[in-house]
Every structure is written in C-alpha cells, then in structure tokens.
Amino acid sequence: MLIIRGADIYAPDHIGIRDVMVCGGKIELIRERIEVPADFPNCREIDGSGLIMTPGLIDQHVHITGGGGEGSFHTRVPEAKLSDFVNGGVTTVVGLLGTDGITRSVENLTAKAKALKEEGMTAYALTGSYGYPSPTITGDVKKDIVFIDEILGLKLAISDHRAPNIPTDELIRTASDVRTAGMVSGKPGILVLHMGDDKAGLQPVFDALEKTSIPIKTFRPTHVSRNHNLLLQAFRFAKMGGYIDLTCDNEEDKEVAEALLLAKQEGVPLDRITMSSDGQGSFSSYDSQGNLTKMGVSSLSAMLHQLKDLIENHGYSMEEILPHMTSYVARALELYPKKGCIEEGADGDILLMEKNCSLHTVIAMGKIMMNEGNIVVKGTYED
C-alpha cells in the first residue's frame, strides 16, 4: 500500500490538493485526508507537498525495438530501455515498426512489449510496418489482433516515398479487417497511418470514408504537422470526428506549438488531438533527388520536454496540455478510465513533478520506478 500526501492534482483536470492511496496496482482512494491506523502493516507514504501530481504519460508511437536503418545497417537505432521511459514519465507505451520491416520483425516487437510489461510498465504493440502486405506473426492481420494480447491494431504508411502506396480498395479492405478484428477481440482495432510529405496527404483516407461506412475512428493518421497542407487536411479529418496525432518536436522545431495555435483558430475540437514521441525512431531529411541528408533519433523524453516547453515558452497551462498526452490518448486507445487519469479504480500510473515539470517520482502500476529524481527500477540488463 502507498499513500501520496498533499500533492496538487491534475487528473488531468485540476482538482487541487488531495491524498491518494494506491493498493494492488490501482488507485483506491482520493480524499482530502486519508487516515491509516498507526499499526497498519506495509504502508509507505510519500510527501507530495509542493509537488504536482499527474497521470503517467501514454506514448502511443514508439519504436521500442529501435527504428532507423535508412542510412544502411549502421544507422539502426538500439532498443528502448526501461529507464528511458521512466526518465520520460512514460508509464504506458504502444510499440511499432517503421521503415524497416525487413531486418526487424513483429515477433521481436511483441517480445519487447512483453519484456517491458515484465519489467513493470504497461506495453502494447501494433502489427505491420510501413510495407504491404503487412508483416505479421500469424500470417494474418486479423488473427494477430484477435489472438495476441499486446496487439491493438495495424501500422501502415501512406503518402510517403517509402510507403507501398496501396490503392484505395486495398486501404478499405485493410481498414475493414482491422475494424472487424477489433470488434471480435474487444480492442480498439486501429489502423495507424504514418503520413509522409506526398501531395496526396490524407486524400486516400477521405476517399475510403466516402466509399464505405467504416468508422472514422479506425483511421489514425500521425506526423500530421510535417507540412501545412497535411495539417489542414488533418484538421478537416478531426472536425469529422477522427483522431489526429502530433509528433513532438525535436530540438530546433516548433511545429507542435504552431499546430495547436492554428487548431484553435480553425475551430478544431482539441480533444481529437493527441501527441506522441516517435521515440527511438529516426527523423530524416532528403534532398530533391531522394538522397539522405540528415538523420537523428527521437527522444523517449520528448513528451515531457514538449509539456514543459508549451507551458514555459508558449503560455499554455498544465490543464490545457496534459490531456493531449494522457486522457485524450487513453480515450483514443479505448483504455480510459483505466489509463490516462487520476481516478479511483484507475491503474496506479502516477507522476509527481516539481512546478517546473522536472520529475520527482514515477509510479507505474503502483510500483515506484523513480523516487526523488533517482531511478530505482531499471531494465533487466541495465547497470
């Protein structure tokens, strides 16, 4: 049993200073004051005075087995480590493959998700990669989603020079398969679409929606702020009821702040906008001839850095930004209210932060992973 006393809670709505009791991996009580008998065994307390409490961040786009590889074999990015997630305040992750569905596999991806679960956090995965036909474990996208616990949906790339550029009829068939498998298995059944810079943008998705009755929630475009025309298409998609995902900025970028400002001006429902890190994936640039000119690796702390940047440098409040990384994501993944909130009955995924958004304590499924800024639980082979 764990009691956190006197933290200022953003649940993600601001509810003020409360005590929170965590037991059996769940949030059991939230009260102004929780009294525990002095002789009650195995009760640990954390003083949250002066600290902010939030739900753990949910990162729905991470290359947990490493991304990259677009500059030959030496550019393959290493696997993510548990401590990297803890340092980033991430307690729930969705892993996926990227450009490289050749030297990397869905089997390895799923094994990594299982390993992260065994090490203490919540982990899911997507079958498929950029390519088509989609690489799978069972040989069938539907069976992967239905029979493999960790797999929530399918990854596919469109409108990108590295994408398979499948025709609309195949996109419809694939989305229908994912939708049906989700219904059968009680999962969200999502088709996560890596969006590239090609001028078609989201038009294949609009065509699929016009021709069929597949629910718009099935399609999940990401990286939508990478160019202005795509962002405007994404805003149209969100106004239709879909979810769109912004990739957190790298060092010199300010795309997210600009996208949020424009979304407000365009009247986009903000609860349809989520954020993710693209962590352990490579960000790359190409010249007009398609030659690689720049490559870097996205940080697993990108969401935490984005939160701090938007609050400190762009005038947003914690209450405005936090849902894009917690409750909105949990709703999009159909995990709410189990995830993404500080509520009685929710999983014990909790962050304690200083007022400047630096991490003090990270708790995943009721287990303390970081205490007073120091990681106390590391991955199996970490020093």
Instruction: Give the catalytic positions in this structure.
Output: 278
Residue 382 tokens, joined: 């970490």
26 forms bridges with which residues in the sheet? 23, 347
Under a CB-based contact definition with an 8 Å cutoff, are residues 263 and 273 in contact? Answer: yes
Q: What residue spans of the chain are helical by DSSP H?
A: 82-87, 106-119, 141-147, 168-185, 203-211, 228-239, 255-265, 302-314, 318-321, 327-332
Neighbours of 176 (CB within 10 A): 17
Q: Phi first, then psi: give them for residue 275, nearest 5 degrees.
A: -130, 150
d(CA 325, CA 283): 21
DSSP 277-296: --BTPEEEEE-TTS-EEEEE
Pairing of strands 52-55, 44-47: unpaired
d(CA 62, CA 96): 6
The CA distance from 89 to 80, in Å, is 14
Rounded CA gap, 71 and 81, in Å? Answer: 23
* CB proximity list for 74: less than 8 A, separation 6 or greater: none
Instruction: Please give the Cα distance from 337 to 153 (Å, whole number).
Output: 20
